Amino acid sequence: MIKTNGTNTERFLIDVASITHRIERAQEQITSGRKINRVSDSPDQISHLLQLRSELGATQQVQTNLGRIESESDAAEQALAHAVSLLERVSVLGAQGSTDILGANERQTIGQEVSSLLQQLVGVANTAIDGRYLFAGDNDQAAPYTLDLSLDAPFSAYLGTASTREIQHPSGSRFQISTTAELIFDSTDPATNIFQAVNNLRLALRDDDLAGIRDATAQLKSSSAHMNSQLAFYGTVQNQVRDALNYSQTQQLRLKEQISGLQDADMASAILELNDARFQHEAALSAESNRNRGSLFDYLR
């Protein structure tokens, strides 16, 4: 009966192929630093890994959006803080102009400074960053107001739109991030209309109207309180944005750690696996080369 070594050879080739695969996979892990480089590396984990990567990408996009909003809210807060200081100066000038000891010329001189301050307040209302007008509402490509101090009613109607802008918190909630120059400076309530109060003082000083000066100065008190409340709104936005950024950073760290736990190679284990597989590969080749394959007489027995 003739004996065959075919089965042994086939088994040997299968074993060598398996060892070679182990070597290649260990080498790839060491080179890439990852234990999952393709779906076949870990079919049971790939779905979870892809979901984590998707969550990380979304969180990073939210953080990018928040970073832009942080710059805008900081600029808006700084602009309104400047407006508060301008109004404080207007109030001081109003108090000076309301005294009986001043004459018409002196009041007109004060009125000229008030005109300059009104111009600056309109400039604050038209604050822009990166080509976007912060207080123009959703239509942020046009300045909210124009000003012509040669007119008794020097500022235009509001040229912007309502503001519906919100930002998503990484937790999924949303919050408002802006308001409009119309609501801040040009309220429909005369008691809180800053432009109107300052302009009324400007006209009364120009016309040496003592009663008008005192009325405008009184109106400035409620207008200043309104401005401070608008400043507080942006202070709240700043706090919300910073809280969201901190939350986002924590989320990203958590997601990166989970992704790392799934896909990153254990370098020490990979090196041990590579060395072990190479040893087995060399041993298998050595054993095969030394195996007694028999002679023609073995097949004739």
Residue 58 lies in a domain: no
More confident residue, 242 or 266: 242
For residues 205 and 97, the answer to whether their CB atoms sit within 8 Å is yes
Note whether 111 and 231 are same-domain residues. Answer: yes
Residue 56 lies in a domain: no
pLDDT digits (tens, 9 = 90+) for 256-286: 888 777 666 555 655 655 566 566 666 666 6
- The confidence score (pLDDT) of residue 297 equals 47
Residue 176 lies in a domain: yes
- The confidence score (pLDDT) of residue 272 equals 59
Confidence of residue 172 (pLDDT cuts 50, 70, 90): confident
Q: CATH number, domain at 110?
A: 1.20.1330.10
- The confidence score (pLDDT) of residue 159 equals 95
Confidence of residue 19 (pLDDT cuts 50, 70, 90): low
Note whether 161 and 81 are same-domain residues. Answer: yes
Q: Is the pLDDT at 28 greater than 80, yes or no?
A: no
Note whether 200 and 84 are same-domain residues. Answer: yes
Note whether 92 and 18 are same-domain residues. Answer: no
Give the total number of structural domains in the chain. 2
CB atoms near residue 243 (< 10 Å):
15
Residue range of the domain that includes 195: 71-258
Note whether 249 and 122 are same-domain residues. Answer: yes
- Give the lowest-confidence range in 4-18, 33-47, 86-100: 33-47
Note whether 110 and 155 are same-domain residues. Answer: yes
Average pLDDT, the chain: 83
Note whether 107 and 122 are same-domain residues. Answer: yes
Report the C-alpha gap between 97 and 92 in whole angstroms. 9
- The confidence score (pLDDT) of residue 212 equals 95
Q: Is the pLDDT at 246 greater than 80, yes or no?
A: yes
Residue 159 lies in a domain: yes
Note whether 270 and 148 are same-domain residues. Answer: no
Residue 295 lies in a domain: yes
pLDDT digits (tens, 9 = 90+) for 125-156: 999 998 899 999 998 999 999 999 999 999 99
Residue 41 lies in a domain: no
Note whether 237 and 287 are same-domain residues. Answer: no
Confidence of residue 242 (pLDDT cuts 50, 70, 90): very high
pTM for the structure as a whole: 0.72
Note whether 161 and 287 are same-domain residues. Answer: no
Residue 40 lies in a domain: no
Note whether 270 and 241 are same-domain residues. Answer: no
More confident residue, 269 or 217: 217
Residue 57 lies in a domain: no
CB atoms near residue 237 (< 10 Å):
23
pLDDT digits (tens, 9 = 90+) for 186-204: 999 999 999 999 999 999 9
Range among 154-168, 248-262, 278-292 with highest mean pLDDT value: 154-168
Averaged pLDDT for residues 19-29: 61
pLDDT digits (tens, 9 = 90+) for 38-81: 545 556 567 777 888 888 888 888 888 888 889 999 999 999 99
Note whether 155 and 277 are same-domain residues. Answer: no
